[in-house]
Amino acid sequence: MADYLPTAPYRGTRDFLPAEMSVRTQVFQRLYDVIERYGYLRYDGPVLEPVEIYEAKSSREIVEQQLYTLTDRGERRLALRPEMTPSVARIIAGNAGKLPFPVRWYSHPNCHRYERPQRGRVREHWQINVDVFGSDSPSCETEIFELIHDMMAGLTASPDMWVLRVSDRVLLNAILTTMVEVPADQTREVSALIDRWEKYPQDTLAQEAAELGMTEKQFHRLGEILSAGDALLDDLPGEAREQSVLMRVLDSSARHLVTFDPLIVRGFDYYTSTVFEVFDTSPENRRSLFGGGRYSNLVGLFCAAQIPGIGFGMGDVTLMDFLGTHGLLPAPRSEVDVAVIPVDETLAQAARQVAHDLRQTGLRTSTPLEYRKLGKELARANKSGARVAVIVGRDEWAVGAVTIRNMVTGDQQQTPTDAAPSVVTTMLG
């Protein structure tokens, strides 16, 4: 017996067969449409990036455990991008002199992370990235939040299916230092602890807090604060309220777009103030769907200019899980609109000619590649989702006519060949 190579894709990566690809394409096309309606322009960058751009500001988990790296023949250390934000910061920095800030950009890259494959986690995923660069205005937050609402509506998700939870690292730092009395140089470690708050049991968290030097009283107080939600905002020190960009959004008419939640921290080191995550409200899927935040200094890795950014990344895996859970996945598109079928092999060229005319009007049209009996071809046409069949018969063709069959009703009619495109178009509605 011959040795065959395995047909499965590399562990944690995916093949998209046409039906799955059609769903993916439709979902993302809807998102592109919504995002472009806000004036965001699509850009793209390479899969391979210098390792250094992640080492500086991404999360330690990504750099130490999840990066796919290689060294090229010129001894350059490269990584398969695990996320898009460092790339877009690099591109913005490289073109800062000619860009009309603020700019609105989006992209749809494939990103790689060496994860243990499980529900919601793969090693290559496709991620929509949306960012605004060059503005500190809370209008950015408001627009991004509004855009997220429109994106979710574009996917036919109703507002009760998901929630946009927001926080601000500036506010959190103020909360920690003034209300929990965490020393300023420990707010980062305590924030990381809060990031794990909903994923670990209280015992574990308490132990970690103790290791960070927090007293039991502080830990108890932290727990109270984290569950206080909105009410917390009224107790905040005035200075923190003034420094927070998010606070200005929460004090505006955009308040209804979000839920304030101090548990939102986000894992990336580069976020500096606003952070947000969208969660599924379904009990089956309590995970974060996607998220983002404001990063004031990331572009500063690449140039002297101060160019703040705010944005989010939305991955296909968690998104598709969400749409599946809520029954919102679109049906795969049919293979074709029309099948043109010659009744014998000598009419193959005639069928191709008819098909060509139908395609000129934009109709997705197939002709058989191998000859089979009419009944078999009609069955295949039906299976491919064709709603109309054009049958090319010998005697008819000789007098310049074809038969057009409505595959849904079974009705058929003879038509002059020239008129076929308009008759078919009418039949398809």
Interface positions, 79-138, toward a copy of itself (CB under 8 A): 80, 90-91, 93-95, 100, 102, 104-105, 110, 112, 114, 123-124, 132, 135, 137
Identified binder of a copy of itself from the candidate list 64, 74, 185, 234, rule CB under 8 A? 74
* Candidate ranges 181-189, 233-241, 344-352, 409-417; the one touching a copy of itself (CB under 8 A): 344-352
- Report the alpha-carbon distance of residue 121 to residue 114 in Å, rounded: 10
Residue 46 within binding range of a copy of itself, rule CB under 8 A:
yes
Stretch that binds a copy of itself, among 63-71, 187-195, 263-271, 400-408 (CB under 8 A): 63-71
Q: Which is nearer to a copy of itself, 132 or 164 (CB)?
A: 132
Burial class (CB in 10 A: 0-12, 13-18, 19+), 299: buried
Closest listed residue to residue 103, CA positions, set 30, 158, 43, 165: 43
Residue in 55, 64, 78, 79 with CA at minimum distance from that of residue 270: 55
Under rule CB under 8 A, residue 325 binds a copy of itself: no
Are residues 218 and 181 in contact, defined by beta-carbon separation less than 8 angstroms? yes
Q: Which is nearer to a copy of itself, 84 or 205 (CB)?
A: 84
Q: Which of 50, 117, 324, 400 binds a copy of itself (CB under 8 A)?
A: 50
Please state the closest distance from residue 289 (CB atom) to a copy of itself, in A.
22
CA distance 83 to 78: 14
Q: Does 330 interact with a copy of itself (rule: CB under 8 A)?
A: no
Does position 36 interact with a copy of itself (CB under 8 A)? The reply is yes
Rounded to a whole number of angstroms, the minimum distance from the CB of residue 322 to a copy of itself is 20
What is the footprint of a copy of itself within residues 256-315 (CB under 8 A)?
301-304
List the Cα angle 238/137/142 in 5-degree steps: 90
As a whole number of angstroms, the longest Cα–Cα distance in the chain is 95
Residue 415 in the binding site for a copy of itself (CB under 8 A): no
Closest listed residue to residue 57, CA positions, set 300, 310, 298, 294: 298
Choosing from 238, 253, 327, 375, the residue that interacts with a copy of itself (CB under 8 A) is 253
DSSP annotation string for 339-405:
EEEESSGGGHHHHHHHHHHHHHTT--EE--SS---HHHHHHHHHHTT-SEEEEE-HHHHHTTEEEEE
Residue in the structure block whose two tokens are 């944005």: 311
Q: Minimum Å distance from CB 112 to a copy of itself? A: 7
Give the Å distances, CA to CA, from 275 to 55, 106, 260, 312. 21, 18, 10, 9
Asked if 242 interacts with a copy of itself (CB under 8 A), we say no
Q: Is 143 in the site for a copy of itself (CB under 8 A)?
A: yes
Of 376-395, which residues contact a copy of itself (CB under 8 A)? 380, 383-384
